Structure 1
Amino acid sequence: MMMDFTECHGDTVSGVASAARSGCRRRLRRLIRGGHSLDCRDNRGWVALHEAAAAGSAGCVQEVLSAAGAGGSPRGCRAYVNSLTHEGESACYLAAQRGHLAVVRLLLKAHSNINQPTNDSSCPLYAAVDGGHQEVVELLVGEGAEVNRTHTPSCWTCLHQAVFKGHSDIVRILVNVCHLEALDDHNISPLFVAAQYGKQECLEILINAGANVNIQAADLATPLLIASQEGHQACVDLLLDHGADPNKDCSNDWPQFPIHAAAEFGHIGVLRRLIAVTDRVCDRDDNMVSPLYVAIHSHQSKCVELLLREGYSPNAQDCTRSLGLSSPLSFALCHSSIQPYSESVRLLVAAGVRLAEETWVHALATDKTDLLELILEHRLIPRPDTLTSHCSVSHHPGKTVLTLQELRELICVALSQVRLAACWLPLLLKAGLEPSLLLQPHMLEHADTDALNYLLQFVNWSTLSAPLKQILFQRKVEKTWEPFPDFDSIPRLSNICRLKLRAVLGPDRLMRTSAVQQLPVPSLLHSFLQFRDVPEASLSHPPASPLLAQIRVFFDTHQHRHVL
């Protein structure tokens, strides 16, 4: 025998409930008078009153209530009006959720429980707030609905929800009756919610009502920090204009300010506003972290550029203890695994960043010359007769000169990367490096033929010291070096002349300016005087390991060579 289970489905309800759902008051009245029950439930636990309330049919609600009060419900009208569905929803909740003002009013008159919670801790007021039903909210608040209860697993109040949904008219109602500093399970207040989700009008209402603009969540984040992180410019401006503190520490891990959040997420407008009001101690103090670090970490080159332009130092504090980062440039170089260098590296070098030993390793311990070319584009190698910690060069405005320490570290790293000299040697000599600085035993012992011949073209090899000549002689005997034919004789007068000219004008001026073109010599000699006839060395054995691996090997095995 076949059994019919259709009565178990939600759409198969009693005739009374069906009439209530459709809003047909006349048919509903006829069924009630015909003795049909008001208590018949569907599989959701809904009775006729739930259907009528959800449908917003005030007439049908009135019919059901009248019948219940006259004995249509065996439990009586007060009990019936508070009947709950399987989800714990009352008729008042269903009507408030859908904004049926007239129905809510009828149900309240029939003694519906205004604060009846659902199974998920909601209530009629919270449902009306969530739906943005202002008139229903006004009615419920006026009738004494409890306004400060929490209604979600995260402990949000009605005010939290109104702000989150951006229902500013409802927020205006609630700020007069709700606790402004109500906190959820993460200590987040309604004002914090407004800042987080960019609800500017709600934020202004809360501020004017006296809400705390510097309140901190459980993780110490402030409304200003979260608005800066999310890029809500208008909210940031509003908070700052009303006393939000841009210098409040907002993290348990390291000193984080709103400016860090703006830099990390690339919000240029917000960052510009915060630069103007943030204490520069975050850029200098050893216990702080420059926003440059977070901008570099997030590859926000526009933020890096803005910070540098506004005076933030490219040589920010050493954050090895707090973040394991020694400098912004070191951090940027470690983040340049895809390209030879990132845009942040270019900006830092252009800003005159201090070049540490690690920087030279990145530039020289590879067959890629992009980084070295970038450095030489913005930095000048000092002349031998001006080797001081700081010196100025008038014929290259906008460029800074390598300090003595930077030059020492450059030579030190170069001598440790002799096997790659074919890559970096031509660039350094053309940029004005004094070649005698490289005439060290280690260089002459380990440089390959092309690199060594290239270097010797820039010096008077006949005047080398006896120990260096001995190294060259031994390599020639062992056939590990094949010298140019000229090296067996006294240097030509023409070569000695151009070496003298290079010494007088200065390597940088000779190689990188038009000074040669101003000399009273035939133009055919210009290329010769600038050593352009010297064939560049080529790398015979490219490095097999990636740059970062080479760098690790360098620091594990490096022995500092005393130079200069």
Structure 2
Amino acid sequence: MKETPLANAAFWAARRGNLTLLRLLLNHGTTLLMVASYAGHIDCVKELVLQGADINLQRESGTTALFFAAQQGHNNVVRFLFEFGASTEFRTKDGGTALLAASQYGHMQVVETLLKHGANIHDQLYDGATALFLAAQGGYLDVIRLLLSSGAKVNQPRQDGTAPLWIASQMGHSEVVRVMLLRGAERDAARHDGTTALLKAANKGYNDVIKELLKFSPTLGILKNGTSALHAAVLSGNIKTVALLLEAGADPALRNKANELPAELTKNEHILRLLRSKEGHRKS
């Protein structure tokens, strides 16, 4: 490797064991401005820009200096780049933008700055994931509140039908689930595979999420995919989850698409007693 500023920086990254920075430096098309923006060195960013660095230059993957600054949460760098004409419109090969990157990593101040400078609240990765979806996946409540108040669509799904509420439930983010439900999230929105937020939370045993969902009376019966949240809870072996669903009115006499009762999916005596007790109450 020739002795250039980038080569020297790569040597330093390798010596310090900074693998992420090393990969960035070795990637074709990376500039010193991108490296300085990624690292958050505002003085270096200023000097490079004043020396004529191309702010909106994209490397092969489509990333720019603004993307890296946003991804790493360096709000002072983001603000400075905007002063010299940085654009929010450039996309990476997977459709990523600075706003999507900042939302994915929970950088509230950066998200706010990007929106003030014209970033599109409806940006989506090519798989359909929005800024709100990515923030919901990470559980970043402050970012979620900001995006919703800025016009983000609470029910906008990814291409596979996964809605922000579904992904928040699957990840166990109960506070995010609560906020989204209060802001109009569809409680029974299903992915293309037929699973709902409640079924995923039941499968994972996320009882705090389940409690929030139950406040909005989600479907407890058999879903389009042929099973129920109770079947999923029994199968996962979480006693507290089973108890929660039964208390909410889940029917232990329902059969799934394989004609199985929930009780036929477990040998756990505690769960079986719960199911029998509920069946007894129903008969009496």
Distance in structure 1 (CA, Å) of the matches to 2:171 and 2:162: 13
State which of 166, 172, 177 in structure 1 corresponds to 2:139: 166
State which of 43, 68, 73 in structure 2 corresponds to 1:94: 68
Deviations, residues 163-200 of structure 1 (Å, cap 9, x unaligned): 11111111111122211111113201000111111101
State which of 206, 219, 222 in structure 2 corresponds to 1:245: 219
State which of 128, 134, 154 in structure 2 corresponds to 1:180: 154
Distance in structure 2 (CA, Å) of the matches to 1:10 and 1:66: 19
Distance in structure 2 (CA, Å) of the matches to 1:159 and 1:284: 36
2:28 paired residue number:
44
1:293 corresponds to which letter in structure 2?
E
Q: 1:95 to 1:124 in 2, by over 3 A?
A: same
2:19 paired residue number:
none
2:132 corresponds to which letter in structure 1?
L
Q: 1:281 to 1:62 in 2, by over 3 A?
A: closer
Distance in structure 1 (CA, Å) of the matches to 2:36 and 2:30: 10
SS in 2 for 1:229: helix
1:126 paired residue number:
100
State which of 306, 320, 334 in structure 1 corresponds to 2:274: 306
Q: 1:205 to 1:287 in 2, by over 3 A?
A: same
1:111, distance to aligned residue in structure 2 (A): 1.5
2:190 corresponds to which letter in structure 1?
Q
Give me the CA root mean square deviation: 2.8
Q: 1:282 to 1:115 in 2, by over 3 A?
A: farther
Matched, 1:210 2:184: yes
Distance in structure 1 (CA, Å) of the matches to 2:5 and 2:46: 27
1:66 paired residue number:
50
Distance in structure 2 (CA, Å) of the matches to 1:43 and 1:226: 39
Deviations, residues 338-384 of structure 1 (Å, cap 9, x unaligned): xxxxxxxxxxxxxxxxxxxxxxxxxxxxxxxxxxxxxxxxxxxxxxx
TM-score by length of 2: 0.84
TM-score by length of 1: 0.44
1:156 paired residue number:
129
| Structure 2 unmatched ranges of 5 or more | 13-24
1:91 corresponds to which letter in structure 2?
A
Distance in structure 2 (CA, Å) of the matches to 1:6 and 1:64: 21
Matched, 1:293 2:264: yes
Contact 1:180 1:190 survives alignment (8 Å) = yes
Contact 1:282 1:289 survives alignment (8 Å) = no
Q: 1:9 to 1:267 in 2, by over 3 A?
A: farther
Matched, 1:85 2:69: no
Q: 1:227 to 1:308 in 2, by over 3 A?
A: same
1:246 corresponds to which letter in structure 2?
L
Q: 1:279 to 1:81 in 2, by over 3 A?
A: closer
1:82, distance to aligned residue in structure 2 (A): 0.4
1:61 corresponds to which letter in structure 2?
V
Higher relative contact order (CA 8 A, sep 6+): 2
Q: Report the count of equivalent residues.
A: 267
Contact 1:163 1:171 survives alignment (8 Å) = yes
2:22 paired residue number:
none
1:275 corresponds to which letter in structure 2?
L
1:64, distance to aligned residue in structure 2 (A): 2.3
Matched, 1:268 2:239: yes
Contact 1:82 1:91 survives alignment (8 Å) = yes
Distance in structure 2 (CA, Å) of the matches to 1:196 and 1:204: 14
Distance in structure 2 (CA, Å) of the matches to 1:117 and 1:143: 16
Larger Rg: 1
Matched, 1:189 2:181: no
1:61, distance to aligned residue in structure 2 (A): 2.0
SS in 2 for 1:221: coil
Distance in structure 1 (CA, Å) of the matches to 2:70 and 2:257: 57
Contact 1:281 1:288 survives alignment (8 Å) = no
SS in 2 for 1:159: helix
Distance in structure 2 (CA, Å) of the matches to 1:174 and 1:215: 20
1:455 paired residue number:
none
Distance in structure 2 (CA, Å) of the matches to 1:204 and 1:146: 25
Q: 1:13 to 1:300 in 2, by over 3 A?
A: same
Distance in structure 2 (CA, Å) of the matches to 1:95 and 1:286: 50
Distance in structure 1 (CA, Å) of the matches to 2:65 and 2:5: 20
2:90 paired residue number:
116
1:13, distance to aligned residue in structure 2 (A): 5.7
Matched, 1:143 2:117: yes
Distance in structure 1 (CA, Å) of the matches to 2:42 and 2:208: 43
Distance in structure 1 (CA, Å) of the matches to 2:187 and 2:49: 48
Q: 1:150 to 1:288 in 2, by over 3 A?
A: same
2:28 corresponds to which letter in structure 1?
R
Contact 1:196 1:230 survives alignment (8 Å) = yes
Q: 1:285 to 1:91 in 2, by over 3 A?
A: closer
Contact 1:214 1:222 survives alignment (8 Å) = yes
Q: 1:273 to 1:83 in 2, by over 3 A?
A: same
Contact 1:54 1:94 survives alignment (8 Å) = yes
1:84, distance to aligned residue in structure 2 (A): 1.5
Deviations, residues 449-491 of structure 1 (Å, cap 9, x unaligned): xxxxxxxxxxxxxxxxxxxxxxxxxxxxxxxxxxxxxxxxxxx
Contact 1:9 1:43 survives alignment (8 Å) = no
Contact 2:97 2:123 survives alignment (8 Å) = no
Contact 1:282 1:288 survives alignment (8 Å) = no
